[in-house]
Chain A
């Protein structure tokens, strides 16, 4: 992420230096102010959904959903961490309903909890890819846009959208499974990895 950010940032800045150097600061400021307005609207969205989420937690609805989705979530994320699984279950179920505003708080919580588990690289990559490939069953906001623009058949897109989403989510999950190794919480493996990391670290320190 650091390299990606730096490279894109440097290329754009260098180019802008030739085209119009005075636009640089203005661009950054407008980007930041857009981020500020985004975050203000995020506060509003999260306020609505986090409120509902707490009501769900207190009334036991959240526990019910978790119990229902736990087997499949456990299989997908390859982790045994109970609290992280609960958050991930909520994240996935809310995603399926198409309420991405409510899914994000749970996703962040799950990602933070998964971070401390031994298999974190795999689990969090899987969680991220599932979210980034969009899981929703019904494209409700898209239907609303089509209705507002007087489409003859606003719900025409439901089936293709569903097929496309399922396709991309399956493909993403498959690729994660293929390219990111799963670490079993096996003691022997952990020790070898520990030493490997240590060796890599000393080598890295030598070259830098």
Chain B
């Protein structure tokens, strides 16, 4: 089963290249031509990624993040989210690398097959770093509804967290 999942990506490449050769595409030229776009793309998103990561570091170091966690913890528990997951729930929309660190910590502390860990895995797999996506997708665009769109995504995220905590009790 796990072998099957791991095989997906290599298979995609294998069949894509075979199909391209069948269609008489110059695969090497085409592949390198695509790669050319990588650096300009990253350069165009760098300012926004930099601003968001600086802000998330600042939240962390100034202790505002911690305070927020303390305030929200009772609220989370009231909603039925285990307190062990509070920091993961808070960091996931903000930072990808930060949340993977917290996730590994949770998995190691509570054991990979515990309820909390299964919840953490589902929560991690079923959500995205909302602020990062916002920063990258709308880099340089001025959309008035962006804050509303972010609020909607965060609300859907919170609902998904509640839903997955409930779901993991049964499944």
Could you list which residues of chain A lie within 8 angstroms of chain B, going by C-beta atoms?
1, 3-5, 8-9, 11-13, 15-16, 19, 23, 27-28, 30-32, 34-36, 38-39, 42-43, 46-47, 50-61, 97, 99-100, 104-105, 107-108, 111-112, 115, 120-122, 124-125, 127-129, 131-134, 136, 138-147, 149-157, 159-161, 163-165, 167-169, 171-172, 175-176, 179-180
CB neighbours (8 Å) of A53 from chain B are 34
Query: In whole Å, how far is B139's beta carbon from the nearest beta carbon of chain A?
Result: 7
Distance of A16 Cα from B61 Cα, bound (Å):
8
CB neighbours (8 Å) of A163 from chain B are 163, 167
Q: Chain A: which residue is nearest B19 at the CB level?
A: A59
Let me know if A12 and B160 touch, CB within 8 A: no
Let me know if A42 and B42 touch, CB within 8 A: yes
Query: In whole Å, how far is A76's beta carbon from the nearest beta carbon of chain B?
Result: 14
CB neighbours (8 Å) of A124 from chain B are 137-138, 141, 143, 145, 149
Could you list which residues of chain B lie within 8 angstroms of chain A, going by C-beta atoms?
1-2, 5-6, 8-9, 12-13, 16-17, 19-20, 23, 25, 27, 30-35, 37-39, 41-42, 44-46, 49-59, 61-64, 97, 103-104, 107-108, 112-113, 118, 121-128, 130, 133-134, 136-139, 141, 143-150, 152-153, 155-157, 159-160, 163-164, 167-168, 171
Q: Chain B: which residue is nearest A40 at the CB level?
A: B42
Let me know if A50 and B54 touch, CB within 8 A: no
CB neighbours (8 Å) of A16 from chain B are 58, 61-62
